[in-house]
Each structure stands twice: as structure tokens, then as C-alpha cells.
A and B are shown apart, each in its own frame.
Chain A
């Protein structure tokens, strides 16, 4: 029994650490939603793009310069997206923007793989994948590094949205594009900045996930795991994304460890969605989302 318990605790802890990584991807979604009201389906593709670009630059430039180069690429990409995709769609229904980001996702996946190839590649960021042993529990160093990176990012973002003028302006934009424009918030620049920040988040997520799974197409599917995280946490809440990421990670691992052997596998992969469905029915705005009351 105590073996089971230890197994359970280990699963839960490793799940929590994986959950941090989900939170990281979900954070990209939350950022863009919070500051522009757009649900950015291309976040996963951006993560893939960033990771592939990094792997592509590495042999020639070395780690430090490559990361700077990738950041520059993502910022340039953000400005291009704002100019080409978002600006023509100002004040159109949110669903049109959503579908445009689906198209953008496909475009980026194709582009990244056309440039840097479809072969899975390893990414070594210099953190050994040997676990720490704490009181009988195995903790992955990579996961811990991921958790630390996520923590720093989140703190920075919370300060940005609560304390800076641009952050406040972005929150206004998410409420109503046209109203924000009419009080003088430079919509185009605001969007470009948000997408640039989401690009930076994609770089961090791409590096961490890439070093874990290898850099390959399935990276962009990690984003699909982030969607239940969003639903559970509330679509515009940064703390919600973190907490929900932890919940999803732990639930996934526990389902994989305890339920899968009973029913023949596969529950692990869609347990987050099951959880999200339950939330959608009973608490559609998530744990910390803003409750928008519409009686229809």
C-alpha cells in the first residue's frame, strides 16, 4: 500500500512539474487573449517555430547568440503578423480572428518545417536529465528548470499587466477594440507588442519542451494540451493558467498511472479534456476567469 502511495505522490509531483510546462504554453494563449481578445490558436505553431529556429541556428551561432537570434525572429514575426493578418481584421467578429489564427498556425508549421526540415532533432540545453532524489522521490532537473523559468516569466508578466501603462492599455484593448482605439490606445503597436511577448513565451516553452521531447512536429500539439488548461483556469487569468496547468499535469499523470492499467490505456491523453468538459458545463468561466453574465 505504501508503495502505491509513494508511486502516487511521485506521479503527482512529476505531474505538477509537467503541469508547469503546460502552464507555460497556456500562458502564451492567456497573454494574447488578455491583451487583444483573440484566442491565438497558432501558439503551438509558434512554439514549434521557435524551437526549430533555435535548433537551426545552434550549429552556426552557439547557444547564447542563437537564443538572441530566435528572440529577434519571434519579435519580427510578431510585427509581421500584426501588419499582415491582424490589422486588416480589426473590428471583425472574434470568431473571424480565431479562424485566422488557425490558418496562421498551419502557415507557420509549414514554413518552419519547409525551412528547417521535418526530421526530429535533439536539443541539448546543458541541463542533465538526471533526477534529484528527495526523500525517495525522483525529481527531474529539467522539470525543475522549467518550473523556475515559468515562475520568473509569470512574475514579470503580472507586474507588466498591473503596473505599466502599456499593460493597462492592453487590458482595455481586450475588452473592446474600437473603444480602446477611440481613447487613444495605439492598437497596432499594442498588438505587435503582445504578440512579441507571446513569441518570447513561445521561445521559452519551445526550448523547454524541445529539450524534453526533441524538436519535432508534435511540439505544436502540446498547444492542444494547453487548451483544457485555459478552460479550467479561466481564459484571461495568468494565475489561473498556472494553477490549472498544475491540476492538468497532476490529473494526467495520476490518470495515466492508476486508471490506464484498468481500461487499457489512453485515458492519460484525454483526461485533461474530460476535466475541461466538466468545467465547461458547471463553471464555464473557469477558476479565475471573469464571469461574464449573459442571460440567453
Chain B
């Protein structure tokens, strides 16, 4: 009743291929976009925008990139955070040292990360599964080392590059959290629309064919060489842009410490919990993981008050690890397609509700 597909006639090719063929979906998407652009800056406090929503968007973008690689093309990566790091440094080197325009710096960050991603993706042509996981892990360590030890990149002992004031076209200063939020949102929305279209194009279908059975895909004439490397390139591009964006708007510096192995695992956790092979899932998972520490500290804080004991930060960190690990296992067992699948199930239910027969 509420969510239904009947009465929708697709009378032209364009209508059939529309991103959201169902009006309710379309309107819901517009409503969410309007809320994101108008309501969030009006309603949310600066702390929420600057401290939670902006990093959430950046992580969602990185998770989306990882989802292309792992969820769509089926290649596991444990070094995704390192590609974010590459993007962060590339963006800041372009913007701070060579004073390239802001958006071009982000584009450059993506392209550099894509290049590095392709380089580390080449082993995927020969190996898969765990072996590939280990080789991407190697990418994580090697990239971290290169950033810290090549003076030209990191520029010093702590390998940190501070973000100068952000300006677009030399006159529009991006300074307040809301302005940074708009910058992030614009980039993220553009790349999401692009990604959403990409996965239903020839490229996306080729990736899914490779994921489901690489031998069969090859026999159908899909070039594994091209599409696997393309998956690495696109996924690293997204990671690179996300890394550049988060250094511009949230960390206020590019620091290799932020893009460590644990972030790689967190990104993997985001797509497992959110949903492998789903654009929406990347967002749900990122939101979930970003909010998780807050939920846990609130919850344990409440429990601690009732029991009358102080909850230490040590305990919080450890409980967070346990819940994170436990959730990964839980979702793998109970709902391998993640939160996105739960959403889908809800929609299927609402299709007939309240008249099931």
C-alpha cells in the first residue's frame, strides 16, 4: 500500500532506465537531498555538523569506494585506509604547496590514489582471496612507510601537512562548519550519483559477473585484466577523494596516523554491516560505525550510573572493540547483505501492508 509499484507504466526507454522509476522513491530521494542541503544546517548544531556529519560523509564516501571493490567486484582489500592517506597527502601537496584550485586538488587526490591503487591492484590478476587480502595489507604498510620516510611527501618527522584556509576561486572562504559541510556534501552527492549510475552500467555488471564467478565472466568475454584494475582504480579514486576531503574539512591536516590499519578494518566493517554490494549500505554502515562509540559511551555511562561505578575510557575502548567485532560476526551470520537488505525487506513488507492478502 505505502510502497507500491503498481500503476507505474514505463512507456519509454528513458523511463525504464530512470534511476528511481517509482515516484515514491524519487520523492523520498528529493526529500532526503532537500533535508541534507536545507534542514541539516538549520537544525543541527555546529558540533554535530563539524564533529559527526562531516566525517560521516567522508567515511561513507570511502566505504562506497571499498564497496565497489569488495561488494561489487568481489576483491577483498585490507589497505583501503592507505589509499585515503595517499589522497590526503596528494590533495594537500597540490593545494598547499602548489596552490592548485581546491576542487582540482581533490580531483588530483583521487587520480593519484587511483594510480597507486592500480599499482597495488596488479597482483589481483594472479591471486585472489586471502592472498589478495595479504597483498593489500602489504600495500597498507608500504604506503604508510613511504609517506613517513619520503621527505618530499610528508615533509618532516611527523609527516604532517597542515591545511591552509580553504578558498574556492580565491574569494570564497570556506571556514565555518556549515560551509565545510556544504563542500563535503556537494562532492559526496556528485560522486554518489556517479557511482549509482556506474554500477548499473556495463562496468558495474562486469564487476558483479567477476564477483559471482570469475571463470564464467572471462568466458563471457569480460576482460578480467581491465575490469579488476578498473575496480581498484575507481575504488581508490573514491578513497583518495574521501581522504583529501576529510583532511580539508575535519582533520585540518594530512596525518598518516589517521589512515592506519584500524581504519581499513573499520571501513571493511562499515560495508559488512551496511551491506556488501549496495550504495545505500555504504551510508548506513558508515553512519552506524560513526555513531557506535557514542551509543556505547551513553549506554555504559547510564549503566555505570545505575551500578554506581565510574566507566573508564579504557573499558569504553575495549567494549567498543568487542561490539564492533561482535557486530561483524552477527551480520555475517544473520544478515550477510547488511542493513541495506533489512531496509529492502522493510520495503517489501510495506508493499502489501496493511492488506497482506
- The chain A residues found within 8 Å of chain B, CB to CB, are 39, 84-85, 88-89, 92, 94-96, 98-100, 102-111, 113-114, 117-118, 224, 227-228, 230-231, 235, 263-267, 269-270, 273-274, 276-277, 280-281, 284, 294, 296
| A99 near B328: Cβ-Cβ < 8 Å | yes
Partner of B149, one of A88, A92, A98, A263: A263
| B148 near A99: Cβ-Cβ < 8 Å | no
CB distance from B284 to the nearest CB of A (A): 17
Answer yes or no: B265 CB below 8 A from chain A CBs.
yes
Instruction: Please report the C-alpha to C-alpha distance between residue A17 and residue B76 in the assembled complex, in whole angstroms.
Output: 33
Instruction: Please report the C-alpha to C-alpha distance between residue A224 and residue B137 in the assembled complex, in whole angstroms.
Output: 9
Instruction: Please report the C-alpha to C-alpha distance between residue A263 and residue B146 in the assembled complex, in whole angstroms.
Output: 11
| B268 near A110: Cβ-Cβ < 8 Å | no
| A103 near B326: Cβ-Cβ < 8 Å | yes
CB distance from A275 to the nearest CB of B (A): 10
Whether A269 touches B145, Cβ cut-off 8 Å, given contacts A114-B318, A224-B137, is yes
Report B-chain residues with C-beta under 8 Å of the C-beta of A92.
Answer: 332, 336
Partner of A102, one of B129, B131, B268, B336: B268
Report A-chain residues with C-beta under 8 Å of the C-beta of B314.
Answer: 113, 117-118
Answer yes or no: B272 CB below 8 A from chain A CBs.
yes
Answer yes or no: B142 CB below 8 A from chain A CBs.
yes
| B318 near A110: Cβ-Cβ < 8 Å | yes
| B321 near A296: Cβ-Cβ < 8 Å | no
Whether A89 touches B145, Cβ cut-off 8 Å, given contacts A107-B321, A114-B319, A296-B215, is no
Chain B interface main SS type = helix
Q: Which 8 A-B pairs have the closest CB atoms?
A: A103-B328, A106-B325, A110-B321, A107-B325, A110-B322, A273-B138, A114-B318, A39-B130
Report B-chain residues with C-beta under 8 Å of the C-beta of A88.
Answer: 333
| A98 near B145: Cβ-Cβ < 8 Å | no
Report A-chain residues with C-beta under 8 Å of the C-beta of B134.
Answer: 227-228, 230-231, 276, 280
| B322 near A114: Cβ-Cβ < 8 Å | yes
CB distance from B326 to the nearest CB of A (A): 5
Chain A residue with minimal CB distance to B314? A118
Instruction: Please report the C-alpha to C-alpha distance between residue A104 and residue B321 in the assembled complex, in whole angstroms.
Output: 10
Partner of A89, one of B137, B269, B333: B333
**14 residue pairs bridging A and B, Cβ less than 8 Å apart:** A39-B133, A98-B129, A98-B130, A99-B328, A100-B333, A105-B325, A106-B322, A117-B314, A118-B317, A118-B318, A224-B137, A228-B138, A269-B141, A270-B138
List B residues 293-342 near A (Cβ within 8 Å): 314-315, 317-329, 332-333, 336
Report A-chain residues with C-beta under 8 Å of the C-beta of B149.
Answer: 263-266
| A104 near B148: Cβ-Cβ < 8 Å | no
| A103 near B332: Cβ-Cβ < 8 Å | yes
Known contacts A110-B317, A113-B314, A277-B138; can you find 7 more A-B pairs with CB under 8 A?
A92-B332, A103-B328, A109-B325, A110-B318, A277-B123, A277-B135, A281-B123
Partner of B325, one of A108, A263, A265: A108
Report A-chain residues with C-beta under 8 Å of the C-beta of B272.
Answer: 99, 103
How would residues 94 to 110 of chain B score, 1 for a CB under 8 Å from any chain A CB and 0 otherwise? Answer: 00000000000000000
CB distance from A118 to the nearest CB of B (A): 5
Partner of A107, one of B130, B329, B333: B329
Answer yes or no: B218 CB below 8 A from chain A CBs.
yes
CB distance from B145 to the nearest CB of A (A): 5
Report A-chain residues with C-beta under 8 Å of the C-beta of B224.
Answer: 296
